[in-house]
Amino acid sequence: MDIHEECGVFGVMAPEICDVASISYYGLYALQHRGQESCGIVVNDDGVFVSHKDMGLVSEVFNSDILSRLPKSNMAVAHVRYGTTGGTNRNNCQPIEVNHQKGRMALAHNGNLSNAAELRSRLELHGAIFHTTSDTETIAYIITKERLRTASIEDAVSQAMNTLDGAYSLVLMSPQKLICARDPYGFRPLCYGKTADGMYVIASESCAIKAVGAEVIRDVYPGEILVFSKAGVESRREHCQKKDKKLCIFEYIYFARPDSVIDGVSVHASRIAAGKILARTHPVDADIVIGAPDSGLDAALGFSQESGIPYGIGLIKNKYIGRTFISPEQGARLDGVKIKLSALEESLRGKRVVLVDDSIVRGNTMGRVVKLIRDAGTKEVHVRISSPPFLHPCYYGTDIDSEKHLIACKHSIDEIRKIIGADSLGYLPEEALEQLARGCGFCSACFDGNYPTKVPKDTRKDRFEKRLSSIKK
């Protein structure tokens, strides 16, 4: 419950002029769980790009009046952001727009480059001037640089992919084409679909494609570039099968929406399987199984099905609170967890409870949730986690940039149990991750330290935002 999401990308290309802004709005709404800091839509109005981007949730940034001001068109790209590189400010809102001598480009990015600092330094030494602190602008700069010396935008994307390292699922728009690309490892999901009237839709997750009335065609292959134009759809695969597939396993555990299917694997079924594995590997005598909303609900159901312990609702989430929620100041006598969650005392009082959640990162949140459940009059609280202990930082789009705050790096499982106040604690065995991915190659570096790419020297989220006081004199 301590992990932040990354980002969600969306793109649409229709055969006729239509309200692509509203279609993008609904697509972003379906991807809101992936990013709740900022969002934006860029519409292609006959080669002229018109956009609206701002901080906040999709429903806060867009309304009917704003959407009506975006022109009718046949093409648009859109983005919801949670920043893993770069600060939380309007400058870092996406999609990023670029004007160059061969036209325009709008780019939306999900993921995190592991060589962003190196690339940015190289570009700055050759005269590049950056306006944001996100690694997405680095990608845009490299693609633009390649575009000035290649015959097409898709050639430029392909050349740029020879330079980029790490995680990137991209949707970009030129005056005449919509293009998507997925890094050769396939760290982050990307798929596309089509409506009955011929409109193509690209999205981070299949749930967004279905939300706008389209049928999913397939996932974009790792390393693949898809080009959507008046001529149809072209698949370029010169970067495919150059790396072993490394989809982030946490997409199945937490990031993705349960009704999504990623690389042929149902997210809901994967989480059910995790709960069943937990019930077998860490059994316990209890009266009720509950999940931490929303991330632990599916795994809790799986735990219940396997153990025979009844599944119930024990925690109620305030559905009107998003990432924009302002946490109480440290001195205020308010608990942010109690504002976000409340315990259903009628279900919990006098019972031995199994609480299932997706992860424990720092431990602060879990400790407060356990206390919340105990205060409801429970006899026992047994915590089960549907992932292994976090031991290493992630460089590919998850907001864990250091081991400094990872509780499992400093304490044993029994020590963590005592810290969070649980009667017992069990994690998903690392070897069980294979069953969640169901044959799909995955990255589990945050658990085992086996990184597919070179580890960057500077991993801080704010590495491009140095304060004067931090500069060595």
Q: What is the pLDDT of residue 436?
A: 96
Residue appearing with tokens 């599944």: 311
CA distance 295 to 366: 13
Bridge partner residues of 343 (DSSP): 315
Task: List the one residue out of 178, 176, 184, 177 whose CA is nearest residue 160.
Answer: 184
Q: What is the pLDDT of residue 336?
A: 72
CA distance 416 to 259: 32
DSSP 3-state of 361: coil
- Cα of 3 vs its chain's centroid, Å: 10
| pLDDT tens, residue by residue, 106-121 | 999 999 999 988 888 8
Specify the DSSP element, H or E, that contains 24.
Answer: helix 20-30
Q: Token pair of 405, please?
A: 């705050």
Q: What is the pLDDT of residue 322?
A: 58
CB 381 within 8 A of CB 355: yes
Per the residue annotation, which of 7, 248, 440, 446 is the catalytic one? 7
Per-residue pLDDT of the chain in tens (473 residues, 90 and over written 9): 455 557 999 999 999 999 999 999 999 999 999 999 999 999 999 999 999 999 999 999 999 999 999 999 999 999 999 865 545 567 889 999 999 888 899 999 999 999 988 888 888 877 777 777 788 999 999 999 999 999 999 999 999 999 999 999 999 999 999 999 999 999 999 999 999 999 999 999 999 999 999 999 999 999 999 999 999 999 999 999 999 999 999 999 999 999 999 999 999 999 999 999 999 999 999 999 999 998 899 999 999 999 999 999 999 998 776 544 455 554 454 567 878 899 999 999 999 999 999 999 888 899 999 999 999 999 999 999 999 999 999 999 877 778 888 999 999 999 999 999 999 999 999 999 999 999 899 999 999 999 999 988 765 555 444 544 554 54
Task: Compute the CA torsion angle 86, 89, 94, 98 (nearest 10 deg).
Answer: -80
Close Cβ partners of 455 (under 8 Å, ≥ 6 residues apart):
114, 395
Q: At what angle do helices 116-125 and 135-147 cross, to 10 degrees?
A: 50
CA distance 362 to 339: 20
DSSP 3-state of 98: strand
Q: What is the pLDDT of residue 467?
A: 45
In the residue annotation, 7 being an active-site residue is answered as yes
Predicted TM-score (pTM) of the model is 0.91
CA distance 84 to 86: 7
| pLDDT tens, residue by residue, 87-99 | 556 788 999 999 9
Q: What is the pLDDT of residue 90?
A: 79
Q: Can you list the domains of the chain with their CATH numbers? A: 7-246 (3.60.20.10), 266-319+334-441 (3.40.50.2020)
As a residue count, the chain comes to: 473
